[in-house]
Structure formats: structure tokens, C-alpha cells
Amino acid sequence: MEIVFSDSRYLWFLTAVFILLLTHSISFGWSRKRALRFANFEAISWATRTTFLPKSILHLLIRIFILVFMILAAAGLGIWYNGTASDFDYMVIIDASGSMLAQDYEPNRLGAAKESASTFVELLNADTYVGVISFAGTAFIDQSLTNDKEKIKEAIKSIDVISVGGTAIGNSVVLATSVFKTSQETGKAKSIILLTDGQSNVGISVLDAANYAMEEGVVVYALGIATEEGGVFTEDLVVSQLDSDTLKDLASKTGGKFYLIGNLQELTDTYIDIFSSTEARIFFDTLFYLILAVFILLMFEWVLSNTRYKTII
């Protein structure tokens, strides 16, 4: 569970509480002096068998809570927690860097990723929205969110190796999260499926990207589409190996999972597992409950001020 604020200015509530305490203390002392001019304060206290100080403290506490709840509501207090969701929208991210031509899969990593991604699209419900992103040294939107399966599969099929050098995993995750953020809200949970050999070496750090996705409630499923021993992808026999730790950190931080894919069948099975998963990052907006609490406390203070707590002080 994570508590978040949409506006960091809520920190000023500490100053406000201090001012309230100071103001209340001064006003109470002033009122008490005025009362003592016209009445025997101790005699009144003895006769009523009550004390004025507890009454003052009760009013003070009510006002503090009212102030705190109002400021927290204005600050946009919310709570993210891991729960279950009935349906998802997806962004499929496919690594199109040169290392994806490694031949430890048939025909190569990129070909296996594209084939399995298309198979996954076929498993989805008709009202599921899917977007497609490819990346190398930078990230590109190949298909914005849509529920048109033919468009999605065509976008996946058209992905080819990108000539921009490097592997910018962080950039691709940030871009996918931003697509979710700026697209029309469907009310569904949001998931990213990342297929990569996991060797991020340019652009936004994977940690920063994971934090951004987490803040937006996006779950990342990271698929390591490379064997541990690696594969050759150039004539110079350059070997690309999987960076599992990076993908594990990315997935776990967002509430998702990391899958180490050994072959094409495992890749297909992984998609089925993701499709059947109900784990999601869910946001609980506290605004209504904070406002309700403020209203109840205001009514409570009004009742006290006009009944048994109606005193000259």
C-alpha cells in the first residue's frame, strides 16, 4: 500500500496546525480574563462540577481534525494498493534493438516476440484496448490504444529492427505509461507487457521509469526473451545476454512479475498466465470520505457549542 498526494503543498498543514494551536491558546486566555472580571471562575467551575479546560481541548481537537482533513482533501490524498481487477487494457512493448536479432530463438528473438504477441492479442476480449510500442535507442508508438485486433496485429507484424543504437527500456515504459495517462479512460486496470533482452544502456533509467509507472498505477510484466547463455546476433559473433536483475526490479516495483522465457512455448504460456492474472494496482480516492468527515465534525462542534458546551468561555 502506498499513500500519495497530488499536491505537495499539503506540507503547509503543519504550519496551519501550529497557528491554530497558538491562536486558540491566546483566545482562550483572553476569554478567561474577561470572564473573571464578571464572575467567580472557581465558583462556577465548582457549581457545575465541570472544568473549562477539557471543553476547550475538545473544541481544539475538533478544529484540528477539521483543518487537517480539509488540507488533506485539497492535497489530493489517495492510496494505491494491490488488489484484484476484472479486466485490463494493455500496452505491448517490443524491443527492436539489434540484440533482438540473436538466434537463440527461432527465427530470432524479435521474430519470436512478434509471433507470441500476436497470439496474445487473439486471446483478448473484444472490448480490450491494446497499444503497441517498439524501441531501441528511443521509443515509438506503433499503435495507439484500440480494440481493433487487426490493427494491433498489423502494428506488431510491421515492427522491424530500429537503426537508432542502444536499448532504452526506461523510455519505452515511460512512453507506454504516458499513453495510458493521456488516452480516454476506460475504467479498466492498466498493464504493460515488455518483451526485451533487458540490456538497458541509454535514456531514462529503468528505476525512474518503474517509479513513474507505479505512481500511475500501471503494472509491468517483464518478459526476458533471451536465454541465459545468450545468442549471437552479428557476423562478428557478438553475444547478447539477459539482464534479469533489471527486469526483476522493474516488475516487482510496479506489482507485476518477471518471466524468464526459455523457448517459444514458454513465451506463449506466459501470455496465458498474464491474461488470467487478476493482480492490479488500484487507486482509492479519499476525497469524498475526507469531506464527509469534515461535515460530521462541523455538525458535532455546532451541537456542542449550542448545548452543554455553550459557555461564556
Q: Is residue 17 part of a domain?
A: yes
Amino acid at 74: A
Relative to beta strand 139-146, strand 231-232 is: unpaired
DSSP H or E run through 36: helix 13-38
Does residue 194 contact residue 172 with C-beta atoms inside 8 Å? yes
CATH number for the domain spanning 239: value is 3.40.50.410
Side-chain-facing half-sphere of 98: CA atoms under 13 Å? 13
pTM tops 0.85: no
Q: What are 139's strand-pairing partners? A: 135
25-34, 193-202, 223-232, 266-275: range with lowest mean pLDDT: 25-34
- Mean pLDDT over all residues of the chain? 78
- Grid coordinates representing 65? 481534525
List, for residues 228-273, the tens digit of each pLDDT value.
555 555 555 555 667 788 899 999 998 899 998 877 788 878 888 8
194 and 229 part of one domain: yes
List, for residues 205-224, the tens digit of each pLDDT value.
999 999 999 888 899 999 99
Q: What is the dihedral of CA 246, 250, 252, 258, to 10 degrees?
A: -70
Q: What are 231's strand-pairing partners? A: 240
Amino acid at 92: V
Q: How many CB atoms lie under 10 A from the CB of residue 313?
A: 17
261 and 295 part of one domain: no
Q: Is residue 236 part of a domain?
A: yes
128 and 264 part of one domain: yes
Q: Is residue 313 part of a domain?
A: no
pLDDT reported for residue 176: 96
Give the rounded distance of the alpha carbon of 245 from its chain centre.
22
Q: Is residue 197 part of a domain?
A: yes
222 and 173 part of one domain: yes
19 and 150 part of one domain: no
Q: Is residue 228 part of a domain?
A: yes
List, for residues 112-158, the tens digit of each pLDDT value.
899 989 988 988 888 899 999 999 999 999 999 999 999 999 999 99
Give the rounded distance of the alpha carbon of 190 from its chain centre.
10
Q: Is the pLDDT of residue 195 over 60?
A: yes
Does residue 139 contact residue 172 with C-beta atoms inside 8 Å? yes
Amino acid at 174: V
CA distances from 107 to 102, 104, 111 (A): 9, 8, 6
Closest CA to 232 of 43, 131, 37, 98: 98
Q: Is residue 188 part of a domain?
A: yes
Rg (CA), the chain: 29
231 and 134 part of one domain: yes
CA distance 29 to 27: 5
Look-up of cell digits 562478428: 236
Q: How many CB atoms lie under 10 A from the CB of residue 283?
A: 13
175 and 121 part of one domain: yes
Q: How many CB atoms lie under 10 A from the CB of residue 215?
A: 14
Q: Is residue 311 part of a domain?
A: no
C-alpha angle with apex 138: 203 to 123, nearest 5 degrees? 115
42 and 178 part of one domain: no
Domain span at 18: 2-76+286-305
Closest CA to 212 of 248, 169, 242: 169
59 and 95 part of one domain: no
296 and 238 part of one domain: no
24 and 137 part of one domain: no
Number of domains present in the structure of the chain: 2
Does residue 196 contact residue 95 with C-beta atoms inside 8 Å? yes
Q: Is residue 310 part of a domain?
A: no
175 and 263 part of one domain: yes
